[in-house]
């Protein structure tokens, strides 16, 4: 699962496009936070220079990124 990531994340959906993986995640930061769980929000993950990079996308994944099956 997502055990390489900080916090408590639940992955609801995954889309892979080329070298980028998009994940719809619900995040619980858990530190006296009244807003948990957050999201779900989309994040993009890709490999760059041997490291996993990530980018916050938002509530909606741009449809250009997704091929509907
Ligand atoms: Zn929180």
Average pLDDT over residues 21-32: 90
Ion ligand 1, residue ranges at CB < 5 A: 29, 33, 35-36
Cα of 41 from ligand 1 centre, angstroms: 13
For residue 22, give its domain range. 8-59
CB neighbour list of residue 11: distance below 8 Å, 6 or more residues apart: 1, 2, 23, 24, 25
Structurally, how many domains does the chain consist of? 1
Residue 26 lies in a domain: yes
pLDDT at 52: 94
The reported pLDDT for the residue numbered 47 is 94
Residue 7 C-alpha to ligand 1 middle, in angstroms?
Answer: 9
- In tens, the pLDDT along 29-60 reads 887 899 999 999 999 999 999 999 999 999 99
**Confidence label for 11 from pLDDT (cuts 50, 70 and 90):** very high
pLDDT at 13 over 70: yes
Instruction: For the sheet with 20-28, list strands across it.
Output: 8-17, 20-28, 38-48, 51-58
Domain membership of residue 51 (yes or no) is yes
């Amino acid at each position: 699962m997502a055990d390489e990531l900080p916090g408590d994340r639940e992955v609801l959906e995954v889309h892979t496009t080329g070298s980028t993986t998009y994940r719809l995640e619900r995040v619980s930061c858990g530190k006296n936070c009244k807003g948990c769980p957050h999201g779900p929000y989309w994040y993009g993950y890709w490999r760059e220079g041997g490291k996993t990079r990530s980018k916050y996308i938002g509530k909606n994944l741009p449809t250009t990124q997704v091929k509907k099956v």
